[in-house]
Amino acid sequence: MPRTRMDDEGPHPVDTHVGAKVKSRRLMLGLSQEELAKSIGLTFQQVQKYERGTNRISVSRLTDISRALKVPIDYFLEGCANVVLGAGGGVRKPAMRGVSDTPQAMLEPDPMTKRDVLELIRAYEHISTPHLKKQLLEMAKAMAKTGGTE
| Residues 10 and 55 both lie in one domain | yes
Give the SS3 label for residue 143: helix
> Is the model more confident about 64 or about 77?
64
pLDDT the model gives residue 50: 96
- Summarize pLDDT for 24-73 with one digit per residue, the tens: 899 888 899 999 999 999 999 999 999 999 999 999 999 999 999 999 99
**Reported confidence tier of residue 6, pLDDT bands at 50, 70, 90:** very low
**Reported confidence tier of residue 84, pLDDT bands at 50, 70, 90:** low
Looking at the predicted structure, is the pLDDT value of residue 90 above 50? Answer: no
Residue 39 lies in domain: 1-106
pLDDT the model gives residue 2: 55
- Summarize pLDDT for 123-144 with one digit per residue, the tens: 888 899 999 999 999 998 898 8
| Residues 76 and 44 both lie in one domain | yes
Contact 25, 18 (CB under 8 A): no
| Residues 7 and 64 both lie in one domain | yes
| Residues 96 and 121 both lie in one domain | no
Residues 30 and 23: their CA atoms lie apart, in Å, by 10
- The enclosing domain of 62 has a CATH number of 1.10.260.40
| Residues 101 and 121 both lie in one domain | no
Q: Which of 112, 96, 123 is nearest to 19 (CA)?
A: 112
CA atoms within 13 A on the CB side of 135: 6
Residue partners of 2: CB distance under 8 A and separation at least 6: 49, 54, 55, 56
Looking at the predicted structure, is the pLDDT value of residue 102 above 70? Answer: no
Looking at the predicted structure, is the pLDDT value of residue 83 above 70? Answer: no
Looking at the predicted structure, is the pLDDT value of residue 116 above 90? Answer: no
| Residues 70 and 142 both lie in one domain | no
pLDDT the model gives residue 104: 42
Percent above pLDDT 70 for the chain: 72
* Number of domains comprising the chain: 2
